[in-house]
Amino acid sequence: MDTRVPKVRVSNISKQFTVWVEDKEQVIRALDNVSFSVNAGEIVALAGTSGCGKTTMLRILMGLEQASSGTVEIDGNKVNGPGFDRGMIFQHAGLLPWRSALENVEYGLEVKKIPKQQRREAAQHYLELVGLKDFMHHRPNQLSGGMQQRVGIARALAIDPEVLLMDEPFGALDAQTRESMQEELLRIQQQTTKTILFVTHDLDEAVLLADKVLVLFPGPGRIHEIVDIHIPHPRTDTIAVRGSEEFNQKRYHIWKTLKTASTLQANPIPAEVR
Ligand SMILES: Nc1ncnc2c1ncn2[C@@H]1O[C@H](COP(=O)(O)OP(=O)(O)OP(=O)(O)O)[C@@H](O)[C@H]1O
């Protein structure tokens, strides 16, 4: 029996939202009995059709949303709200426009009450790590979308979280910038060995980056399958990875699975034969 405590343990998470539509109460079952665990240093992708609960799962992990039932543990400690052991990165970096890149990265450290000198050094270190050594004093509007996203990653890394949660982190970037950011993330993960969970609609991205892909189905949101990706690290030679049999087989398998799910959604099986 494996007695190691996983870095992240999600146990039987369900989440319902109650909404009012045209004066009628509706219950949306965003997540139903979701369980999985993630070991330290693993990268896990959440993939699935729109509305299957990916963002809700990430928000519960971050402590921004409370589950209706079930638990989330980090290193065996129950999550009850946001904490410095987790850092979140969104599709848009959401930088403070009046602050330089350096001051934006320092912001989280101010909140964490890190002394001035120490936070300046940490912010410089993480901006260098994401390749922005020469842009530390630029304001967000003087940076490209990819650079802004890198500042967002540096900001999340600077608080030294145990777990990085990324919600479609590269979704707003053009294809070329996106590819270079994926390579950056692989490089940063090699250096920092952070545990990462990320949401993506891009199956290439899921298989390229992740050690396992959680394939979610909607209505109610649930894990249909957990697909292990056996591509060895480091995966920095992304051309070789994308050309490998494992990459293409797993990508095709996940694509086919999700295609079946969306066909079922469009043509639901009649209740009497379900
Ligand atoms: N705050 C909320 N109030 C009511 N319903 C919500 C709320 N947040 C999410 N939902 C519902 O929960 C379900 C899951 O939403 P969620 O955003 O987690 O899905 P998703 O898989 O991330 O979707 P997408 O891929 O489109 O971003 C959806 O039906 C959505 O309408």
Confidence check on the interface: ipTM exceeds 0.90, yes or no: yes
Q: Whose CA is nearest to atom 24 of ligand 1?
A: 50
What pLDDT score was predicted for residue 274?
A: 36
Task: Please give all residues whose beta carbon lies within 6 A of any atom in ligand 1, as ranges.
Answer: 17, 19, 28, 30, 48, 50-56, 221
Please give the structure tokens belonging to residue 35.
């369980």
Q: Whose CA is nearest to atom 26 of ligand 1?
A: 50
Going from the Cα of 66 to the center of ligand 1, the distance in angstroms, rounded, reads: 14
C-alpha distances in Å from residue 222, one per residue of 53, 171, 180: 8, 23, 31
pTM higher than 0.80? yes
Centre of ligand 1 from the C-alpha of residue 53, in Å? 6
pLDDT at residue number 210: 97
The preferred substitution site among 18, 25, 28, 60 for testing ligand 1, maximizing ligand atoms within 8 Å of CB, is: 28
Cβ neighbour number for residue 91 with a 10 Å cutoff: 17
Q: How confident is the model at residue 271, as a pLDDT? A: 44
Taking the CA of residue 167 as reference, the ligand 1 atom at the shortest distance is 22
User: Going edge to edge, which strands form the sheet with 24-38?
Assistant: 24-38, 8-21, 69-74, 77-78
- Cβ-proximal residues to 67 (8 Å cutoff; 6+ apart), any chain: 13, 14, 15, 31, 60
In the chain, which stretches have pLDDT less than 50?
269-274
Q: Where are the domains of the chain?
A: 1-85+163-174+193-274, 94-160
pLDDT, one tens digit per residue, over 152-172 is: 999 998 998 999 999 998 888
Tokens for 51, please give them: 């509305």
**How far is ligand 1, taken at its centre, from the CA of residue 168, in Å?**
14
Question: Which atom of ligand 1 lies closest to the CA of 48?
Answer: 21
List pLDDT tens digits, range 27-38. 999 999 999 999
Contact residues for 209 (Cβ-Cβ < 8 A; gap 6+): 43, 45, 182, 185, 186, 196, 198, 235
CATH class name, domain 1-85+163-174+193-274:
alpha beta
